[in-house]
Structure 1
Amino acid sequence: MMLSPAPQIAALGDDLLGEILLRLPDMASLASAALACKRWHRVASDPAVFRRFDALRRPPLVGFLLTDRGDMPPTYRSPNLFFVHATRNPNLAAAAADGDFFFEDLPAVDSDDEEEGYDWDEWRLRGCDGGRRLLSRRHDGLDLAVYDPISRTAVFLRPDGVFRKCTHVVRYAIVVDEADGSFLVIGFGFSYMTAVFSSRTGKWVSINMERVKMGKSDVEQEQDEEDEYVYLSFGSDGIAAGRFAYWRSDTKKRRHFNPVESILVLDTATMEWSVITAPFPAGESYCVADMPEHGGLCLFSSKEQCLQLWVRNSIGGWVLKKDFSLLNDWMKKIRRAEWMKRVRVLAARAGYVYMEFWSIRKANSYFLVLNMRTMKMSVFPNNPEDPHRGRAFPFFMRLEPLLGPDEDQNVHLDV
């Protein structure tokens, strides 16, 4: 019996061609394939293919940016920063060697505010995602910049007429689309004033927060105006997790709250807000993750030196999917020798979980990168002279999208 000849690759549909391109080993191979013909370029540069290509590979981690706690929150001051390089990839290391991770190239501003202890003229770090930093400055915190420390380019923006100028209560988050480098800046403040800036349109748009409220079981009501509760409950800036932005509650800092950890979440795909209650006690370290293989929104938490993965069940409750100890022989040894007691979960992305293992007595710590597929862990030492126990941001190199054949290869996002 004669076998039918294999179909020529030109006869393959775009969907099947996309599946083949997803199996190329790296971005350079995908870029080379995109030059084969116009059809291949169209499929290879499709945002859906690009997102899946990025998600199937190890995220290009460059390092970790650490902040101190200080006497005032970062919304009022510029925190002390420390950067830990954390890559063994020579290409990433070379690209990041001259990165402006402390945003020293950004212009300062001459401030008229002379109040002692407030660095109004300095840029203050508010968020990090997709190779970009979100910064603010001035008394009202409404001068914003989205900065790429590798290319040293910035987009400057200001939400005029959106938020009140008399307060510092706007809480921000930045979410970057890895497929094309576009970004959203989300801010909310008192009285549910909420707006989103899109780099695609260059405009701020007010969005409906639909009166997201805490239940009586979560909040001990002291005031008549419930509008205050979003700010009082979620007093820090937001964190990106895939298509989600989330804000942690201040449960441990507020004496009038019951010990329930709540999380304010915005799904940037639908622009829907929600408040979810964590399935673990307040005070445990955790992060939100965007994991399509587990239905989307998931949680990673740490309990002592164990890592837990929580997923949603069919009725919207939380189910403990995985629970495993991180204490290998090395961690057991270092825990005793250097009083390494706390595991802080920083982020989860593309099957990798990023954590910090820090000492309760010393300034040093270790960053852990766990591959959830192989359960292998990479370790990067952090040896500062002073402790940095404020927020920590993993910094990833943003993959450049594939430009069209007629597009300028030297375009920079610089305003």
Structure 2
Amino acid sequence: MSRAAKRPLTVMLVAAEASGDDRGAGLARALKARLGQDVRFVGVGGEQMAAEGVESPFDIADISILGLAEGLLAYPRIVRRADETAALALREKPDVAVLIDSWGFTLRVAQRLRRQAPGLPLIKYVGPQVWATRPGRARTLAAAVDHLLSIHAFDAPHFEAHGLPVTFVGNSALTVDFSKARPARLRRRIGAAPNDPILIVLPGSRPGEIERMLPVFEDAVRRLKETHPRLHVVVPAAPTVAETVKARVAGWSHRAHVIEGDEGKLDAMKAATVAMACSGTVTTELALAGVPMVIGYRLGPVTAWIVRKVLLRTRWVTLFNIAARAFVAPELIQGDCTGPNVAREVALRLDDKALRDRQVAAQYAALDKMGRGGPDPSEAAAEAVLKILAARAPG
């Protein structure tokens, strides 16, 4: 009797932050395109995965944690949510579990599933960046899961050395489709004339990032508006932090337009003259859109000291800077990440089109090194998941 005659393939997808929610939704769509009614989904995710049929038992903003100190404070909650996720798997009996990014949370889920459902295939989608920091995580991951779907072509040797099979599927941020973006639509929406400069502000998708980065960006915006009165400011808000962002931006001394939803975000990226962005997946998306940017990041002081003194193995934190092995976009980290510094770097780019053009060209060259133009990662991930299952099937 075929699987379809018995029940649909049940796939568990687990994501704990906005970028993982996006990847999980893409994978779900790709699997549905291949299997139709013969696949169902369970797991943990955000709004995008919910739209594809993943009913999350809790809000992932609850487990979107960044930093060692924050992680320690949130540890009981993370453990409780990991227990709930494992219990969901035991109830729903999935055929495979795909654990997406979010190292701390998904590792705990994997360890529980390994103990409680030892026959369940466990696939990690996006590995920890062991080539940049904490190389010991490669061995830890190899003991916890059966396969890694990697988004970087240079990941494989680090994990295969510990016996973990790796399939390179590519980075979904490199395949964002801007073909339907309408910069003019964004300009009409915010009342910007065709030649008015637009600054797009992206403060992150985790509550801790909003807490640390939005005040810096607010100070930078205030300074820029004083020297560039025609500047329009747009703040796309990730679903995980949208209410917090709207409440905080409403109190800014100068008007900024908070944008929700993918359509508005893509319109804003294509309309933007310059961006100030929290380090993360969004920097790759901005580079793909052709936006010169200034990147900022702040961790808690204890976490930052440990990362810099003990863990970090690379000079850069932004992926396309790592690929270029140069500061293609400026990175203002920790003490350097201040309102005056961010405003100064953004102003340089607002005032110098030649500088903007050079930076965009260098960003594009770095994206090419990262695999821009390759196969669709969601399709590649779906194919890999089905191949892994087929290889494990009896006979």
Query: Is TM > 0.5 for Structure 1 vs Structure 2?
Result: no
**Scaled by the length of structure 2, what TM-score is found?**
0.26
Specify which structure has the bigger relative contact order, considering alpha-carbon pairs within 8 angstroms and separated by 6 or more residues. Answer: 2
Q: Which has the higher helix share?
A: 2
Task: Kindly indicate which of the two structures has a greater share of residues assigned to strand.
Answer: 1
The TM-score normalised by the length of structure 1 is 0.25
